[in-house]
């Protein structure tokens, strides 16, 4: 299956199917990320459950506001320059 949307690193490198295999990412996960339905590492269903769990925990703690952010290589397919995505299998 081709990589949906021709995912690239912003510097001209386009991900190939073997890149997805190396990263352990499926084309469906890439599409969900591109559609902003779920960050990488989550299925849309798991992401919904995560958000619902977070909302329940905030309500249980009687907090009505929070600033929660995901920032890691799982949040973006290609990470920042200080942590480049591998371009070879070696």
pLDDT digits (tens, 9 = 90+) for 31-53: 888 788 988 878 899 999 989 99
- Give the model's pLDDT for residue 67: 86
Domain boundaries, the chain: 14-76
- Residue 40 backbone phi and psi in degrees, to 5: -60, 145
Average model confidence (pLDDT) for the chain?
Answer: 75
């Amino acid at each position: 299956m081709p990589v949906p949307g021709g995912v690239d690193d912003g510097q001209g490198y386009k991900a190939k199917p073997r890149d997805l295999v190396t990263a352990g990412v499926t084309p469906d996960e890439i599409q969900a990320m591109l559609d902003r339905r779920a960050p990488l590492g989550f299925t849309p269903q798991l992401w919904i459950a995560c958000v619902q769990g977070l909302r329940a925990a905030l309500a249980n703690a009687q907090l009505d506001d929070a600033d929660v952010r995901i920032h890691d290589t799982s949040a973006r397919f290609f990470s920042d320059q200080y942590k480049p995505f591998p371009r070879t299998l070696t």
